[in-house]
Amino acid sequence: MVRNLRCIAIDDEPMALLIIEQFCRRKGGIELTTFSEPKIGLEEIRRSEPDLVFLDIQMNSINGLEIADTLPEKSCFIFTTAYAQYAIEGFNLDAVDFLHKPFSYERFVVAVEKALRRIESKRNLSSECLMVKQEYNNVNIPLSDILYIEAMGNYVKIFRKSGGHVLTRTNLKNITDILPVRDFLRIHRSYVISKSSVVSFSRSKVEIDGYSGELPIGSQYVVTVMDNLGK
């Protein structure tokens, strides 16, 4: 399992932070930094990209849901709140778990163990697969099965050579950073393609096997595309 878990807790109630500190110390193997001012905590999260964030929802200066929606892709999070009505919205933001205050040490451990399993699976993920979350399920996609990827607002749609697609909540940059550059190429602000699927290309468009249309090449990507696919 992951050791020395780097965590940040954000809550505008000092007593709530004290409880999380005590629970983390009792469990062991957790490096915790706490913040009672949410905006300062968010700045530190963006700077240090911790493994796990404990996040209250109803705070004076900012809503925890807003913070969760802007967390780094590498950081997973657990909501700690007295407001159970936010549970569904929290899970829609890909929360690992939802701790309803006041929560016990045993319930805290269950949530942390779930986070550890998610972090471990990301670290040990084979370079030949991409694991993404679709709704409430984790989907493991072989890289060889990816045809192309399309950005759709706060989501990306991953089209598979075997048919169908997977819709996951992230952005195209995060996906691009994970994929091996030897196999995949960003051709547009909205598209990443599998190099092995390219049938033909020009300076303005790419035709890929298994797709009936053509994908556009963005003007800022022309040089990169031509260098990668050949002039």
State pLDDT tens for residues 78-134.
999 887 776 666 666 778 889 999 999 999 999 999 898 778 766 655 458 887 888
Is the per-residue pLDDT at 2 higher than 70?
A: no
Spatial CA neighbour of 130 closest among 211, 194, 71: 194
Is the per-residue pLDDT at 217 higher than 90?
A: yes
Specify the higher pLDDT residue, 173 or 199: 199
Give the whole-angstrom CA distance, residue 102 versus residue 42. 24
pLDDT tens digits, residue range 152-176? 988 999 999 999 999 998 888 888 8
Residues 142 and 217 in one domain: yes
Q: Per-residue confidence at 1, pLDDT binned at 50, 70, 90? A: very low
How many structural domains comprise the chain?
2
Give the whole-angstrom CA distance, residue 202 versus residue 207. 9
Range from 35-49, 50-64, 169-183 that averages highest in pLDDT: 35-49
Domain ends where: 123, 156, 171? Answer: 123
pLDDT > 70 in the chain, percent: 92
Residues 180 and 86 in one domain: no
pTM metric for this prediction: 0.56
What pLDDT does 195 receive? 93
What pLDDT does 6 receive? 94
Domain enclosing residue 146, as ranges = 129-229
When the pLDDT of each residue in the chain is averaged and rounded to a whole number, the result is: 87
Angle, helices 14-27/105-123, rounded to nearest 10 degrees: 70
What pLDDT does 218 receive? 94
Task: State the CATH number of the domain containing residue 109.
Answer: 3.40.50.2300
Domain ends where: 123, 140, 159? Answer: 123
CA distances (Å), origin 70, targets 51, 76, 136, 168, 178: 15, 11, 19, 16, 18
Reading the block at residue 126, the tokens are: 């084979």
Beta bridge partners of 149: 158, 192
Task: State the CATH number of the domain containing residue 196.
Answer: 2.40.50.1020
pLDDT > 90 in the chain, percent: 55
Residues 113 and 21 in one domain: yes
Q: Per-residue confidence at 136, pLDDT binned at 50, 70, 90? A: confident
Is the per-residue pLDDT at 45 higher than 70?
A: yes
What pLDDT does 123 receive? 62
Q: Say if strands 146-152 and 191-194 run parallel, antiparallel, or are unpaired.
A: antiparallel
Give the whole-angstrom CA distance, residue 63 versus residue 99. 16
Spatial CA neighbour of 2 closest among 37, 22, 31: 31
Reading the block at residue 59, the tokens are: 């705070």
CB 182 within 8 A of CB 133: no
Query: Omega into 102 within 30° of 0, i.e. cis?
Result: yes
CB 145 within 8 A of CB 183: no
Domain ends where: 108, 123, 138? Answer: 123
